[in-house]
Each structure stands twice: as C-alpha cells, then as structure tokens.
C-alpha cells in the first residue's frame, strides 16, 4: 500500500479506535482496588467508630444508625471489625510477601553459583509442591498458637522455597550473559556482579512474586480463620469469616451480607487485583518464560 | 523431563519420609503442648501421666523417634485427646466423605477445564477469547468459601431446592448422599475449573502450533481428528499438572466443608483445632499428605505410560 512520505507507521498496523483503548481497564481497576484497600488499612482508626475489641452493643444486634452492619456474637461492631480486619489481613499479606520474597531472592541468587544450597532448596521445593501445605500450616499454627507473628512466620516459611528455585534458574542465566563476563574480566567480584547485574534484572520478577504471595497469604489466612485458627486479639478477615460461619443462623436472615459478606468480598477483590496486576507484569514480558506465576511463584 | 518409574517411586518414598519426619519433629520443635495449653482446662494428673507415657515424653528423642516409627508402621497414630478413640478410627470415619468430595470435583473440573481449554485453543486469538480469559481469571480468583455462600443463598435459601448443610443420617441412601454432596462438589468444581482450562489451553495451543499437526491437517483430518492428535501429546503433561492441583483442592475442600457443615476431614480439623486435639490434627496432616502424594505420583506414572514420546 502506498503511503505518503512522512506518515508514521503504526507498529501494529491497526489504528486505535478511541483514546481509552490504550488503557488497560482491568489493570486500572485492580490498581484502584488495591489502593482503596490500602487506604482503609491505613485509616482504620479514623474510619472505625469502635475499637477492635470494644463491645459496641448487644450481641447479634441488627443494623441501626450507630451500627451500620450490626454486631457479632460478642457485640462488636461488624463495620469496625471489617476496617481493622483489613489492616490485619493486609499487614499479614505484605509481611509474608516481603519475608518470603526476600528469602527466595537471597536463597535463589546466592545459590546460583553453588550446588550445595541448591540441593536443600530443591528438596524443600519438592515437598512443599507435593503435599497440601495447608494441612502442614494448620498443624504448625495449632502448635504455636495462632498469633499474627506465628501466622506470618509459618506462611513465610512455606512461601519461599518454590520461587527460590525459579530465581536460581534465572540468576544462572544472567550470570552467563556477555556483560557479566565482561564485568568479571574487568575485575568485578562475585558480590558486585550479583548486586549490580543480577539483582536489577530479576527485580520485576520479585515484584510479581510479591503480589502473588500477598494473594496467597491473605487467602490462606482467611481459610485458616474459617478452620478456627486466627489471632484472637487482632481481628482479621479470617477471624471475622470464622466467627460468621460458626453462627448457625448465618443464612437465615441477612447476617451473611453484613457479617461474612464484607471480608469474603474483600478477599475476592484482593485476589483478583493481585492476579490482574501480576498478569500485567507477565504480559509486558517482565517474567521470563518458564516462570509461570500461576504455578511457581505463589509458594 | 518426566521421571521414570523408579525415580517416581523413589520420589514418593523420600517425600513420604519427609512427611513422617515433619509429623514427628513439628510438635517437638514448636512451642505449645496439650499439657500446657493456656486456653484449655488443665488436664487431670492421670491424663498427664498417660500422655507422657504414650509419647515417651521426657525420654531421649532418639528413643521417642524409634517408638514413633514403630507406631506409624503398625498404623497406630495415637488416641484423640478428647474422645480417647484411636486417631485412625476418628479420621477413617470422615475420610470417605472428603475422598468423595475431592475426587468427584477434581474429575469434573479436569474434564470441564479440558473441554473449555480445548475449545478456546482451537478458536485462537480474538475478542471472545480475551473475554473468556478475563472471566476465567475472575472466577478462578473467587475464594471457595465465597462461592459456597453464593450457592447456599441461591439453591438453599432462595430456591429452597437443596439442603444448605449437614449430612444425611445413616443408613445412607444414594439420593440423600447426592443431595448433600451436590453443592460442595459444584463449589469446588467451579473454583478449580478455570485453572484446568488455562493449563489445557496452553498445552493444546502449544501442540497445535507443532509442524506435525500441519501434516495431519494436510492429510485431510477433520478438526476432531486434529484435536485427538493434539490431546495425545498434551494429555501426559495435563495429568501431571492436574495431579499438582490436588493439594490446592484439599485446601479448598477444608473451607467448603466447614461452610456446608459437610462431615469430612475439614470439619474434623475445625473440631480438633477448637479443642487443640493435636493427635487428630497430626493424623489429618499425615494421612492427607500421604494420600495426595500417592495420588499425584500415580498420575505421574500414568502420564508417563501414556506419553507417546517416551513409550
């Protein structure tokens, strides 16, 4: 096709129909959801009319002007519980995400040059991938007691090994690249190469791993809460879900909507947002082939 | 890439030993014990002595370990701290319910996911495909307990068709069991299908791009024949990956059972956690892990047997 001189060739050969077509609507929505939940978590005290352990009214009260969602079986305000629960669940998700991403990065990158550590990581990975980690977590958390710290440690301990193996493969690939060889030839130490050349290349992968681990941790915390394992003093989405599903008349009235509805919907929204934002990173080619975030990154 | 028979058996054995070791080590390494749990009523002195004697507490750990291995080898997992019945008996009563739930929904999700994934791989890229993928991601990210609640609301509360919770009282008739199992199975199936569909879409799509399928098409095979060829290559990997999903399904089953009041291992786990009945929790962990490990190993062996490139 003849083209007038000076015309700009569109890379895809197709003309965008409208300006908003360039915007990734799901990704924008997911980012907004994440920002909103983060805002709720940060402003929990400001927004909540009652404290997380404060008795606000009679047990199992219906919604009223002072209690928008009513109260739970101990008379605590369900609206305030959701606000504080958001804080606890996001804190747990972020802590587990940070800890296990850092552990995986450390283990994966430092084992890239050696084989000894890799064996251990490999064995752990096999075990974590082959058995229902959830049952292991139930046993461990039942033994330590379900405090927030114990939950974070237990989840992080299970969440790093699989990804460490992915990172190790990637790091080994990076170590063979020409500019690394050149850098070594110029006298760079191994530590310098790892910090200056390998880590920056893997950073986008770490971000995806972080998001998917947050997703996994929040979902597992909610499921542990339903099984009865949640911090008794810090309300979380899991603990509210656990007490809600223990209420025999949950589905008889509208209790499901105001009691289990907010935390269940929040878990779903967070899961979806983390998936979409993580997927965005993968589609932009940040995650190298062979590292499927659905299977290998979450833990 | 896929391991041989011997390697699969060795892996099964090693990981099984790992599970047995973890089951021994965790209660001894982690703080917390039924003897000192602050949230429980203190046990009578007689019970204290019996528990200490049963697990050889206070003796060297090597002695405890030998004793423990002997018990596991005999199929003795200790006694419940609450009902004082053998753990194998307590767990055995609930196991068939969970097996029924997990195996039915795993099979249904695998078949449904395979069909949907194949259809979308055969359609190729397009607007419908991307809409379909977004829907799959959305449904796949709904937590099982949310789906369970939605199904209870729809079928039990609004339509009043099916029981919301509980189990039929024995003796069980088939239709009664089916009525109670139906909603939990639908919940787990719906939440597991998207993952299976995405996996089979990737696998079948990759085979469809292989040159030999061009030959198959050139020889005039119908689209059904082409897909049959594609699945012959994709099925082994699909089975292996489907085996790895079993562990996730067990997690989902725990929440689903709890929401539906379904009498399986998930509900047992809830009761045991509530009463800090450690031997029962350990029994569920040991049995659940070994069963999932065995099932995924068997699937891997079948996958190897089916693989035309290895056979």
| CB contact (8 A) between residue B251 and residue A223 | yes
**What whole-number distance in Å separates Cα of residue B107 and Cα of residue B88?**
27
Query: Tokens 């787990």 map to which residue?
Result: B188
pLDDT attached to residue A217? 93
Least confidently predicted of A29-43, A168-182, A216-230? A168-182
pLDDT attached to residue A122? 77
Question: Which of B3, B126, B141, B290 would you mutate first to test chain A, the one with the most A CBs within 10 A?
Answer: B141
Query: Alpha-carbon Rg of chain B, whole angstroms?
Result: 24
How big is chain B, counted in residues?
311
Q: Which of A132, A144, A264 sits opposite B247 (nearest CB)?
A: A132
Return all residues near B294 (Cβ < 8 A) that are at least 6 apart: B12
pLDDT digits (tens, 9 = 90+) for A54-72: 887 788 777 878 888 888 8
Report the gap between the CA of A229 and the closest CA in chain B (Å). Answer: 7
pLDDT at residue B180 above 90? no
**Helical H segments across chain A, by residue range:** 25-42, 44-47, 78-110, 116-130, 133-144, 148-159, 161-175, 178-185, 190-193, 199-227, 237-246, 255, 261-283
Q: Which B-chain residues 248-277 have CB contacts (< 8 A) with chain A? A: 248, 250-251, 254-255, 258-259, 266, 269-270, 272-274, 276
pLDDT digits (tens, 9 = 90+) for B90-120: 898 889 889 999 999 999 999 999 998 888 8
pLDDT digits (tens, 9 = 90+) for A72-90: 888 788 888 899 999 999 9
pLDDT attached to residue A9? 45
**What whole-number distance in Å separates Cα of residue B186 and Cα of residue A45?**
40
Q: Which of B195, B244, B273 sits opposite A129 (nearest CB)?
A: B244
Report the gap between the CA of B164 and the closest CA in chain A (Å). Answer: 9
- The candidate with the shortest Cα–Cα distance to A228, out of B218, B268, B166, is B268
Rounded to an integer, the average pLDDT of A181-186 is 88
pLDDT attached to residue A22? 61
- The candidate with the shortest Cα–Cα distance to B202, out of B252, B297, B129, is B129
Alpha-carbon distances, residue B215 vs B192, B208, B226 (angstroms): 35, 11, 10
Q: Taking an 8 Å Cβ-Cβ cutoff, which residues of chain A contact chain B?
A: 26, 123, 126-127, 129-136, 138-140, 142-145, 215, 219-220, 222-223, 226-229, 241, 245, 251, 256, 260, 264-265, 267-268, 271-272, 275-276, 279, 294-295
pLDDT at residue A24 above 80? no
| CB contact (8 A) between residue A227 and residue B254 | yes
| CB contact (8 A) between residue A264 and residue B292 | no
Rounded to an integer, the average pLDDT of A151-166 is 86
| CB contact (8 A) between residue B251 and residue A129 | no
**What whole-number distance in Å separates Cα of residue A182 and Cα of residue A197?**
11
pLDDT at residue A195 above 90? no
CA A169 from centroid of its chain's CA atoms: 23
**Would the CA dihedral through B125, B128, B131, B137 be positive or negative?**
negative
- Residues A85, A115 contacting (CB under 8 angstroms): no
pLDDT digits (tens, 9 = 90+) for B125-146: 777 777 888 888 888 888 888 9
pLDDT attached to residue A3? 44
Least confidently predicted of A28-42, A54-68, A139-153, B12-26? A54-68
Q: What percent of chain A has pLDDT over 90?
A: 19
pLDDT at residue B78 above 50? yes
pLDDT at residue A192 above 50? yes
Highest mean pLDDT among A49-63, A170-184, A220-234, B296-310: A220-234
**pLDDT grade for A194, boundaries at 50, 70 and 90:** confident
Q: Which of B32, B137, B269 sits opposite A138 (nearest CB)?
A: B269
Enumerate the residues of chain B whose CB falls inside 8 A of the CB of residue A149.
Answer: none
| CB contact (8 A) between residue A226 and residue B258 | yes
pLDDT at residue B306 above 70? yes
**pLDDT grade for B34, boundaries at 50, 70 and 90:** low
**What whole-number distance in Å separates Cα of residue A58 and Cα of residue A74?**
8
Q: Which of A138, A251, A275 sits opposite B153 (nearest CB)?
A: A251
**pLDDT grade for B53, boundaries at 50, 70 and 90:** confident
Q: What string of DSSP letters covers chain B?
A: ----HHHHHHHHHHHHHHHHHHHHHHHHHSS--TTT-TTSPPPPHHHHHHHHHHTTTTS-HHHHHHHHHHHHHTT---B-TTT-SBHHHHHHHHHHHHHHHHHHHHHHHHHHHHHHHHHHHHH-SSHHHHHHHHHHHHHHTS-HHHHHHHHIIIIIIIS--S-SS--PPSSPPHHHHHHHHHHHHHHHHHHHHHHHHHHHHHHHHHHHTSHHHHHHHHTT--HHHHHHHHHHHHHHHHHHHHHHHHHHHHHHHHHHHHHHT--SHHHHHHHHHHTT-HHHHHHHHHHHHHHHHHHHHHHHHHHHHH-TTT-
Mean pLDDT, chain A, whole residue set: 80
Whole-model pTM: value is 0.84
- Residues A196, A180 contacting (CB under 8 angstroms): no
Q: Which residue has the higher pLDDT, B295 or A58?
A: B295
B207 shares contact with chain A (CB less than 8 Å): no
pLDDT attached to residue B105? 94
pLDDT digits (tens, 9 = 90+) for A109-136: 877 777 777 777 777 777 887 888 889 8
Enumerate the residues of chain A whose CB falls inside 8 A of the CB of residue B32.
Answer: 142-145
pLDDT attached to residue A96? 95
Least confidently predicted of A48-52, A114-118, A279-283, B157-161? A279-283
pLDDT at residue A270 above 90? yes
Mean pLDDT, chain B, whole residue set: 82
| CB contact (8 A) between residue B293 and residue A275 | no
**pLDDT grade for A151, boundaries at 50, 70 and 90:** very high
B162 shares contact with chain A (CB less than 8 Å): no
């Amino acid at each position: 096709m003849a083209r007038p001189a000076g015309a700009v060739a569109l890379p895809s050969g197709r003309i965008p129909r409208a300006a908003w077509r360039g915007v990734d609507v799901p990704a924008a929505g997911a980012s907004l959801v994440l920002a909103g939940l983060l805002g709720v978590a940060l402003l929990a005290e400001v927004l909540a009319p009652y404290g997380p352990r404060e008795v606000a009214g009679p047990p199992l009260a219906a919604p009223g002007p002072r209690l928008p969602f009513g109260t739970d079986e101990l008379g605590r305000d369900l609206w305030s519980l959701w606000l504080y629960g958001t804080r606890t669940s996001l804190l747990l998700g972020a802590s587990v995400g940070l800890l296990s991403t850092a552990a995986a990065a450390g283990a994966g990158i430092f084992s890239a040059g050696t084989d000894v550590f890799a064996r251990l990581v490999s064995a752990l990975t096999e075990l974590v991938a082959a058995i229902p980690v959830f049952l292991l977590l139930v046993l461990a958390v039942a033994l330590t007691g379900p405090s927030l710290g114990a939950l974070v440690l237990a989840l992080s301990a299970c969440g790093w090994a699989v990804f460490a193996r992915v990172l190790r493969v990637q790091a080994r690939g990076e170590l063979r690249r020409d500019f690394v060889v050149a850098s070594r030839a110029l006298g760079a130490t191994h530590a310098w190469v790892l910090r200056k050349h390998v880590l920056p290349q893997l950073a986008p992968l770490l971000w995806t791993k972080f998001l998917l681990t947050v997703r996994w941790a929040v979902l597992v915390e909610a499921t542990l809460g339903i099984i009865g394992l949640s911090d008794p003093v810090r309300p979380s989405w899991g603990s509210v879900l656990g007490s809600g599903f223990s209420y025999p008349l949950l589905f008889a009235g509208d209790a499901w909507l105001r009691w289990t509805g907010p935390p269940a919907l929040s878990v779903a929204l967070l899961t979806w947002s983390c998936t979409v934002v993580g997927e965005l990173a993968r589609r932009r080619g940040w995650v190298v082939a062979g590292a499927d975030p659905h299977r290998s990154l979450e833990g | 890439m896929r391991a041989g028979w011997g390697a699969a058996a060795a892996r099964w054995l090693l990981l099984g030993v790992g599970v047995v070791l973890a089951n021994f080590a965790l209660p001894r390494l982690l703080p917390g014990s039924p003897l000192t749990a602050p949230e429980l009523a203190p046990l009578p002195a007689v019970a204290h002595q019996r528990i200490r004697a049963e697990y050889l507490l206070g003796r060297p750990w090597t002695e405890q370990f030998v004793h423990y291995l002997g018990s596991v080898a005999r199929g003795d997992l200790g006694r419940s701290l609450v009902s004082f019945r053998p753990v194998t008996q307590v767990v055995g009563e609930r196991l068939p319910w969970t097996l029924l739930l997990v195996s039915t929904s795993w099979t249904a999700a695998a078949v449904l996911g395979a069909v949907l994934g194949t259809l979308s791989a055969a359609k190729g890229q397009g607007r419908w495909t991307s809409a379909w993928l977004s829907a799959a991601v959305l449904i796949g990210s709904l937590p099982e307990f949310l789906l369970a609640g939605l199904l209870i609301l729809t079928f039990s509360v609004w339509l009043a068709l099916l029981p919301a919770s509980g189990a039929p009282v024995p003796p069980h008739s088939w239709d009664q069991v089916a009525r109670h199992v139906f909603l939990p199975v639908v919940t787990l199936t719906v939440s597991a299908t998207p993952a299976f569909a995405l996996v089979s879409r990737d696998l079948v799509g990759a085979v469809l791009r292989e040159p030999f399928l061009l030959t198959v098409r050139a020889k005039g095979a119908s689209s059904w024949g082409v897909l049959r060829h594609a699945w012959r290559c994709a099925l082994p990997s699909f089975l292996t990956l489907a085996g790895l999903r079993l562990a996730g399904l067990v997690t989902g089953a725990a929440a689903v059972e709890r929401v539906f009041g379904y009498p399986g291992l998930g509900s047992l786990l809830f009761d045991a956690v509530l009463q800090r009945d450690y031997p029962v929790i350990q029994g569920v962990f040991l049995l659940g892990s070994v069963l999932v490990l065995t099932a995924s190993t068997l699937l891997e062996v079948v996958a190897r047997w089916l693989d035309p490139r290895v056979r």
